[in-house]
Chains A and B, each alone.
Chain A
Amino acid sequence: MSAVAAASRVIGYTQAINEALVQEMERDPNVFVMGEDIGRFGGMFRATEGLLERFGEKRVIDTPISESGFIGMALGAAMAGKRPVVELMFVDFSLVAMDQILNQVAKAQYMTGGKAHVPLVIRTQGGGYKGTAAQHSQMLEALFVHVPGLKVVAPATPADAKGLLAAAIRDPNPVFVLEHKQLYAAKGDVPEGEHVQFLGQARVVRSGRDISIISYSYTLIQALEAAATLEEEGVDAEVIDLRTLNPLDLRTVEGSVSKTHRVLIAHEAHARCGIGADLAAQIQERMFDDLDGPILRVCGADVPVPFAQSLEDASLPSAAKIAARARELLSGTPPLREG
Chain B
Amino acid sequence: MAAATKPAADTEFLLGLYRQMVRMSALEVALTKLSRDGQLRGSLHLATGQEAVPAGACAALRKDDYLTVTYRGHGYVLAKGVDLEEVVAEILGRATGLNTGKGGKMHLTDPSHGLLGANGIVAGGIGTAVGAAMASWMDGADRVAMTVFGDGTLNQGHAHECLNMAGLFRLPVIFLCENNLYAEMTHLDKSAKVTDLCKRMETYGIPAVRVDGNDPLAVFRVVETAVAGARNGDGPTFVEAMTYRTCGHYQNDPGTSYRTLDEIKEWEAKAPIPRLQASLYQQGAAADELEKIHREENAAVDKAVKAAIAAPEPPVSVLLEDMFV
Instruction: Enumerate chain A interface residues (CB-CB to B < 8 A).
Output: 32, 58-59, 63-64, 66, 68-82, 84, 99-100, 103-104, 108-117, 148-149, 151, 172-173
- Residue contact A80 to B323, C-beta cutoff 8 Å: no
CA–CA, A295 and B98, complex, Å: 46
Tell which of A80, A112, A173 touches B107, judged by Cβ atoms closer than 8 Å: A112
In the assembled complex, B157 has its CB within 8 A of some CB on chain A: yes
- Residue contact A113 to B131, C-beta cutoff 8 Å: no
* Given contact pairs A64-B165, A79-B132, A114-B322, A99 touches B100 in the complex (Cβ within 8 A): no
* Given contact pairs A80-B66, A103-B124, A109-B322, A69 touches B158 in the complex (Cβ within 8 A): yes
Contact with A along B121-146 (1 / 0, CB 8 A): 10011111111111111100000010
Tell which of B97, B111, B112, B161 touches A64, judged by Cβ atoms closer than 8 Å: B161
Contact with A along B81-105 (1 / 0, CB 8 A): 0000000000000000111111100
What residue of chain A has the Cβ atom nearest to residue B126's Cβ?
A72
- Residue contact B158 to A172, C-beta cutoff 8 Å: no
Closest Cβ of chain A to B144, distance in Å, is 12
- Residue contact B138 to A72, C-beta cutoff 8 Å: no
- Residue contact B324 to A77, C-beta cutoff 8 Å: no
What residue of chain B has the Cβ atom nearest to residue A72's Cβ?
B127
- Residue contact B126 to A116, C-beta cutoff 8 Å: no
- Residue contact B323 to A148, C-beta cutoff 8 Å: yes
CA–CA, A214 and B176, complex, Å: 51
Closest Cβ of chain B to A8, distance in Å, is 30
In the assembled complex, B164 has its CB within 8 A of some CB on chain A: yes
- Residue contact B322 to A73, C-beta cutoff 8 Å: no
- Residue contact A80 to B136, C-beta cutoff 8 Å: yes
What residue of chain A has the Cβ atom nearest to residue B110's Cβ?
A115
Given the complex, which residues of A lie within 8 Å of B102, measured CB to CB? 110-113
- Residue contact B100 to A81, C-beta cutoff 8 Å: no
Q: List 12 A-B contacts (CB under 8 A).
A: A58-B138, A76-B129, A76-B133, A77-B132, A103-B124, A104-B119, A109-B325, A110-B102, A110-B322, A111-B102, A113-B97, A113-B100
What residue of chain A has the Cβ atom nearest to residue B163's Cβ?
A69
In the assembled complex, B168 has its CB within 8 A of some CB on chain A: yes
- Residue contact B134 to A76, C-beta cutoff 8 Å: yes
Tell which of A78, A100, A109, A112 touches B158, judged by Cβ atoms closer than 8 Å: A100
Given the complex, which residues of B lie within 8 Å of A99, measured CB to CB? 121, 124, 158
In the assembled complex, B291 has its CB within 8 A of some CB on chain A: no
CA–CA, A112 and B111, complex, Å: 10
What residue of chain B has the Cβ atom nearest to residue A67's Cβ?
B161
* Given contact pairs A81-B135, A112-B103, A112-B117, A68 touches B127 in the complex (Cβ within 8 A): yes
* Given contact pairs A71-B127, A113-B100, A76 touches B322 in the complex (Cβ within 8 A): no
- Residue contact A111 to B127, C-beta cutoff 8 Å: no
Q: Which 10 A-B pairs have the closest CB atoms?
A: A72-B127, A76-B131, A69-B161, A113-B100, A73-B131, A66-B161, A80-B135, A113-B99, A76-B128, A112-B109
In the assembled complex, B59 has its CB within 8 A of some CB on chain A: no
CA–CA, A205 and B126, complex, Å: 44
In the assembled complex, B24 has its CB within 8 A of some CB on chain A: no
- Residue contact B165 to A73, C-beta cutoff 8 Å: yes
- Residue contact A73 to B162, C-beta cutoff 8 Å: yes
Closest Cβ of chain B to A97, distance in Å, is 9
Given the complex, which residues of B lie within 8 Å of A66, measured CB to CB? 161-162, 164-165
What residue of chain B has the Cβ atom nearest to residue A70's Cβ?
B165
How many Cβ-Cβ contacts under 8 Å join chain A to chain B? 149
In the assembled complex, B321 has its CB within 8 A of some CB on chain A: yes
Given the complex, which residues of A lie within 8 Å of B129, measured CB to CB? 76
In the assembled complex, B239 has its CB within 8 A of some CB on chain A: no
- Residue contact A108 to B162, C-beta cutoff 8 Å: no
What residue of chain A has the Cβ atom nearest to residue B322's Cβ?
A114
- Residue contact B138 to A59, C-beta cutoff 8 Å: yes
* Given contact pairs A103-B124, A111-B102, A113-B100, A80 touches B131 in the complex (Cβ within 8 A): yes
What residue of chain B has the Cβ atom nearest to residue A115's Cβ?
B109
In the assembled complex, B116 has its CB within 8 A of some CB on chain A: yes
- Residue contact A113 to B162, C-beta cutoff 8 Å: no
Tell which of A63, A79, A81, A111 touches B99, judged by Cβ atoms closer than 8 Å: A111
What residue of chain B has the Cβ atom nearest to residue A199's Cβ?
B324
CA–CA, A99 and B164, complex, Å: 18
* Given contact pairs A79-B132, A115-B99, A109 touches B323 in the complex (Cβ within 8 A): yes
Given the complex, which residues of B lie within 8 Å of A108, measured CB to CB? 109, 117
- Residue contact A79 to B164, C-beta cutoff 8 Å: no
Max count, chain B CB within 10 A of own CB: residue among A66, A80, A82, A110: A80
CA–CA, A95 and B289, complex, Å: 55
- Residue contact A76 to B135, C-beta cutoff 8 Å: yes
- Residue contact B126 to A173, C-beta cutoff 8 Å: no
Tell which of B120, B138, B325 touches A173, judged by Cβ atoms closer than 8 Å: B325
- Residue contact A74 to B131, C-beta cutoff 8 Å: yes
Closest Cβ of chain A to B318, distance in Å, is 9
- Residue contact B111 to A79, C-beta cutoff 8 Å: yes
CA–CA, A234 and B220, complex, Å: 80
- Residue contact B111 to A116, C-beta cutoff 8 Å: yes
- Residue contact B127 to A104, C-beta cutoff 8 Å: yes
- Residue contact A116 to B132, C-beta cutoff 8 Å: no
CA–CA, A173 and B168, complex, Å: 29
- Residue contact A79 to B322, C-beta cutoff 8 Å: no
CA–CA, A69 and B102, complex, Å: 26
Given the complex, which residues of A lie within 8 Å of B138, measured CB to CB? 32, 58-59, 77, 82
Given the complex, which residues of B lie within 8 Å of A117, measured CB to CB? 111, 325
